């Protein structure tokens, strides 16, 4: 049994990541991709400490929830939909509970102070800061999941964040209107035996569809990178369904929480509300990890081998990639993209991207845009290909990086340093005669 478990673990962590598409059938490869996606998602969920990030977002949400709802209600009242908005908020927070009552009282009190000059000054600044701080923390968390180092510019933050705040009440009103419309239509078709069950199913599906849409929108628009809708939609449906299931449990739990009112008094609902926020953010961030894993599963092929690649094989990959790019440049053909090199040579995409990045660092390659519409990044040589030989490439790879350490290579350890330089000169003597474009 132990041997079987060890073999299964080795298959999940190593062997399955080395299987290429042409080695198995298409169906088998698809099943393997699903297994790899689930494993990668769970692995990154634990390594990225998503539960801790969910706790941080829970705290930010607790600070911003009243100001956000105040903005949403203010916009809704401007359009005359405040009652409909209140019903949507109550259903969204798990039904008419003590928590929702307290929150709505805070919101009404917050809005009643809008006529005060103090609110317009300091209060307005605090309101905007708490709301923008929450959304900014969400973007930072999603960017870290997607390994995006560059955040949105300040202009994009202002435009994108305020667009979200304006869309939230509109979407909530639309969902409420659709629910009312479907309920009204359902009463008219109750006499029809076939249509009535279908209508009831569609009405019950509306909260699920709204949650799916909300999570999918977060996964697509929140990270500062291009997210494919297909992967975001799958994760949005799974995370939205899990959230709705947890919502049902949360509503049910309110019945037995009331027993603790004698002990905790008015604070009885607070722990449950914090737990609801914590688990909701955990589900949301797990869906973000699933979206990332589904879209980038190819990047983790041969992952352990890529991290433990030998120096000799790294040099071989660099020579191979440079020779392909130089040959295509000489023929005046369209330049290679990372994906084309990976598919043509069966090099893992992650290793290809790592080699291309290093070749740019040593000033032998530069990026070009092949098509303005698709914005695909391709690569061209950065110097005359008639001077680009194997020795030059290897020398730049060897000397790239820092050599500024306090080791006495001129006197005490001069023999070791000279031995290295002499070995390099002999090593490069024949390589300098071979142009990369002629390989």
- pLDDT value of residue 194: 55
Residue (of 392, 325, 374) closest to 352 by Cα position: 325
- pLDDT value of residue 77: 66
Tokens representing residue 29 in the block: 């490869």
Asked if 62 contacts 276 with a C-beta cutoff of 8 angstroms, the reply is: no
Q: What is the pLDDT of residues 164-202, one digit of tens each?
A: 766 766 666 666 556 556 556 656 655 555 555 666 666
The number of beta carbons lying within 10 Å of the beta carbon of residue 46 is: 10
- The burial of 401, by beta-carbon neighbours within 10 Å (0-12 exposed, 13-18 middle, 19 or more buried), is given as exposed
Tokens representing residue 142 in the block: 């999603």
Does 378 reside within a domain? yes
What DSSP character marks residue 389? B
| pLDDT of 18 strictly over 70 | yes
Q: Are residues 123 and 201 in the same domain?
A: yes
> Could you give the CA distance from residue 39 to residue 33 in angstroms, rounded to a whole number?
10
Q: Are residues 317 and 280 in the same domain?
A: no
Q: Which of 281, 298, 315 is the last residue of a domain?
A: 298
> Could you give the CA distance from residue 90 to residue 380 in angstroms, rounded to a whole number?
58
Q: Are residues 38 and 62 in the same domain?
A: no
- pLDDT value of residue 91: 64
Does 439 reside within a domain? no
Q: Are residues 280 and 323 in the same domain?
A: no
Q: What is the pLDDT of residues 197-232, one digit of tens each?
A: 666 666 667 777 888 888 898 898 888 888 888 999
Does 36 reside within a domain? yes
Helices (H) and strands (E) counted in the chain, each on its own, are: 18, 3
> Could you give the CA distance from residue 47 to residue 38 in angstroms, rounded to a whole number?
14
User: In sequence order, what DSSP letters do the residues of 196-263 get, joined into one string?
Assistant: HHHHHHHHHHHHHHHHHHHHHHHHHHSSSS---HHHHHHHHHHHHHHHHHHHHHHHHHHHHHGGGHHH
Tokens representing residue 107 in the block: 């919101």
* Alpha-carbon distance values, 93 to 126, 272, 274 (Å): 24, 11, 12
- pLDDT value of residue 344: 86
Q: Which residues contact 393 (CB under 8 A, 6 or more apart)?
A: 318, 319, 322, 364, 436
Asked if 258 contacts 274 with a C-beta cutoff of 8 angstroms, the reply is: no
Q: How far is CA 267 from the centre of its chain?
A: 36
Q: Are residues 87 and 181 in the same domain?
A: yes
| pLDDT of 37 strictly over 80 | yes
Does 415 reside within a domain? yes
Q: Are residues 272 and 347 in the same domain?
A: no
Mean pLDDT for 10-24 is: 82
Asked if 379 contacts 336 with a C-beta cutoff of 8 angstroms, the reply is: yes
Q: What is the mean pLDDT of the chain?
A: 79
Share of the chain above pLDDT 70, in %: 72
Q: Are residues 28 and 173 in the same domain?
A: no
> Could you give the CA distance from residue 241 to residue 232 in angstroms, rounded to a whole number?
14
- pLDDT value of residue 214: 84
Tokens representing residue 370 in the block: 């092949």
pLDDT band of residue 235 (cuts 50, 70, 90) is very high
Does 437 reside within a domain? no
Q: Which of 280, 298, 316 is the last residue of a domain?
A: 298
Residue (of 392, 326, 324) closest to 362 by Cα position: 392
Residue 152 three-state SS: coil
pLDDT band of residue 255 (cuts 50, 70, 90) is low
The single residue listed with the structure tokens 């449990």 is 249
CATH number, residue 356:
1.10.10.10
Domain count, the chain: 3
Q: Which domain holds residue 37?
A: 3-44
Residue 377 three-state SS: strand
Q: Are residues 142 and 285 in the same domain?
A: yes
Give the containing element (helix H, strand E) for 378. Answer: strand 377-381
Q: Are residues 307 and 396 in the same domain?
A: yes
Q: Are residues 327 and 243 in the same domain?
A: no
What DSSP character marks residue 334? P
User: In sequence order, what DSSP letters do the residues of 74-121 get, joined into one string?
Assistant: HHHHHHT-HHHHHHHHHHHTTSS-HHHHHHHHHHHHHHHGGGSHHIII
- pLDDT value of residue 163: 74
> Could you give the CA distance from residue 23 to residue 32 in angstroms, rounded to a whole number?
12
Q: Are residues 40 and 62 in the same domain?
A: no
> Could you give the CA distance from residue 105 to residue 178 in angstroms, rounded to a whole number?
27
Does 438 reside within a domain? no
Q: Are residues 126 and 242 in the same domain?
A: yes
pLDDT band of residue 76 (cuts 50, 70, 90) is low
């Amino acid at each position: 049994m132990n041997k079987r478990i060890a073999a299964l673990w080795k298959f999940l962590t190593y062997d399955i990541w080395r299987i290429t598409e042409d080695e198995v059938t298409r169906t088998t490869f698809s099943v393997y991709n699903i297994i790899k996606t689930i494993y990668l998602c769970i692995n990154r969920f634990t390594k990225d400490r998503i539960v801790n990030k969910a706790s941080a977002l829970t705290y930010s949400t607790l600070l911003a929830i009243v100001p956000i709802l105040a903005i949403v209600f203010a916009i809704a009242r401007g359009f005359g939909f405040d009652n409909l908005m209140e019903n949507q908020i109550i259903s969204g927070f798990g039904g008419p509970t003590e928590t929702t009552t307290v929150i709505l009282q805070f919101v009404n009190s917050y809005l009643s102070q809008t006529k005060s000059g103090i609110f317009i000054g300091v209060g307005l600044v605090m309101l905007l800061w708490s709301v923008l701080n929450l959304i900014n923390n969400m973007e930072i968390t999603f960017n870290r999941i997607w390994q995006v180092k560059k955040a949105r510019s300040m202009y994009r933050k202002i435009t994108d964040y305020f667009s979200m705040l304006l869309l939230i009440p509109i979407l909530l009103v639309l969902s409420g209107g659709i629910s009312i419309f479907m309920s009204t239509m359902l009463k008219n078709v109750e006499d029809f035996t076939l249509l009535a069950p279908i209508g009831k199913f569609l009405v019950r599906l509306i909260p699920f569809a709204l949650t799916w849409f909300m999570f999918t929108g977060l996964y697509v628009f929140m990270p500062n990178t291009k997210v494919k809708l297909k992967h975001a939609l799958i994760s949005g449906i799974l995370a939205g369904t899990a959230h709705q299931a947890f919502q049902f449990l949360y509503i049910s739990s309110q019945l037995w929480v009331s027993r603790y009112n004698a002990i905790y008094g008015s604070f009885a609902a607070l722990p449950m509300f914090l737990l609801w926020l914590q688990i909701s953010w955990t589900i949301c961030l797990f869906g973000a990890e699933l979206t990332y894993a589904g879209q980038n599963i190819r990047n983790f092929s041969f992952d352990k081998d890529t991290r433990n690649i030998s120096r000799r094989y790294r040099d071989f990959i660099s020579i191979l990639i440079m020779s392909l790019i130089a040959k295509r440049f000489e023929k005046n053909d369209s330049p290679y993209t990372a994906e084309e090199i990976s598919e043509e040579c069966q090099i893992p995409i992650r290793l290809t991207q790592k080699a291309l990045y290093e070749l740019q660092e040593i000033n032998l390659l530069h990026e070009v845009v092949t098509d303005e519409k698709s914005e695909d990044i391709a690569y061209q040589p950065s110097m005359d290909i008639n001077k680009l030989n194997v020795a030059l490439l290897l020398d730049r790879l060897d000397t790239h990086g820092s050599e500024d350490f306090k080791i006495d290579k001129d006197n005490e350890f001069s023999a070791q340093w000279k031995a290295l330089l002499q070995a390099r000169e002999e090593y490069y003597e024949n390589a300098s005669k071979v142009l990369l474009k002629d390989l």
